[in-house]
Amino acid sequence: MRQISITGDFDFLQAKIHGLRSRVYESARLDDLCGLRTIAQLWHRLYPESEAADHHALQRRLLADHVDTLQTICLHLPERLAPLLAWMTRRYQVENLKVLLRAWKSHTPYARVEPFLAPLRAEFDLPARALLKATSLADFLLLIPLEEFRAAAQRHAAEQIENDDTFFLETAFDAAYYQRLLDEQRRLPGEHRRSTERLIDFEVVTYNLLCLFRLKLNYGLPFDQVRPFLVSQVPHPVRLERIYDFPHFADMAARIPSRFLPAELAGKVSNVADLERALWAQGLRLANRQFYRATGLLAGVVGFFIIKRVELANLIRVVEGVRYGLGPGAIRQGVVRVGEAVGAR
């Protein structure tokens, strides 16, 4: 049975997330990590009480701690506000589902897959071993426990089979996740709904934009085939079809509204990876502003979830950079920072 808020209001939760916020790796603390040269040094800096292991174990520890922090926060939310944050935690169930889909396709045994799965509470468990043993794609999809993800994948199984590429089903999972995210935000009461709209709007628009760019530039699909992968009824819609009409990346990026991608940033991105990083930087800036302004409102907690997600992505980038011997400057260039979101409103 889910624990309810300790105080019945946000007093305890606000104190908890502000304490956690003060320990986030960013700015100078993140730069300091970028300057380390071995995985062992990273282990000792991040987990001084633990014996160092390899990069896989470090990434798993980071992921496990991240997910545990988010799930613990969810336990202290009032019942009426819990569904949105619980659904945001389900993001990691989606990622687990993607990992299992790729492993199923490549016939990878569970023992090799298990270290890459986010450890989630029982309510988010997937039948991992059964999924990996599925004898067909149809059987794999039938084993997915959540109807929304199962139905989305079944609608797009033809693209998966035709292209022999899991990207299409992975994108279908993402679309189902973001559609429900938008729906849960709309169900919030009063000021909590109004205060979280910009954050969730940005999350969904970011998904739509990256989906649009990837399906066009990597797969060349016509827009009518792209549309079913997009989340509809975003509160502040971007004219996606108009962006899609342009043949080249630079022209497409230049038509993203400035509240999502300022003109000075649009001119600096040259590929989808750059675009994703710029959008995350914009989202991080918005999350930080909401975190400090939305005292007593759910937007502050949502903002913290986004800040922590970017922190995890940055820490994983640092681990990978050190693993592959990149210099500190190159690693620092690859992380997402608030300061890069010039012009965010």
Q: How confident is the model at residue 75 (pLDDT cuts 50, 70, 90)?
A: confident
Q: How confident is the model at residue 12 (pLDDT cuts 50, 70, 90)?
A: confident
State pLDDT tens for residues 176-229.
999 999 999 999 999 999 999 999 999 999 999 999 999 999 999 999 999 999
Let me know: does 230 contact 175? Beta carbons within 8 Å.
Answer: yes
Let me know: does 152 contact 97? Beta carbons within 8 Å.
Answer: no
Q: Domain for residue 345, yes or no?
A: no
| Integer Rg of the chain from CA | 20
State pLDDT tens for residues 282-297.
999 999 999 998 877 8
pLDDT of residue 141: 95
pLDDT of residue 161: 81
Q: Domain for residue 229, yes or no?
A: yes
pLDDT, averaged across the chain: 90
Q: Domain for residue 158, yes or no?
A: yes
Side-chain-side CA neighbours of residue 58 (13 Å): 24
Q: Domain for residue 213, yes or no?
A: yes
* CA angle (243 as vertex; 238, 244 as ends), nearest 5: 120
Average pLDDT of the residues in 250-263: 89
Residue 92 scores a pLDDT above 70: yes
pTM (global) more than 0.85: yes
Q: Domain for residue 116, yes or no?
A: yes
Q: Report the distance separating Cα 64 and Cα 117, nearest Å.
A: 9
Q: Domain for residue 4, yes or no?
A: no
Q: Domain for residue 5, yes or no?
A: no
Q: Domain for residue 2, yes or no?
A: no
Say how many domains are in the chain. 1
The two structure tokens encoding residue 92 = 């990691």
Q: How confident is the model at residue 235 (pLDDT cuts 50, 70, 90)?
A: low
Going by C-beta distance under 8 Å and a sequence separation of 6 or more, which residues neighbour residue 150?
141, 142, 144
Domain residues for the domain of 318 are 11-340
pLDDT of residue 113: 95
pLDDT of residue 32: 96
- Return the axis-axis angle of helices 55-75 and 82-89, rounded to nearest 10°: 170
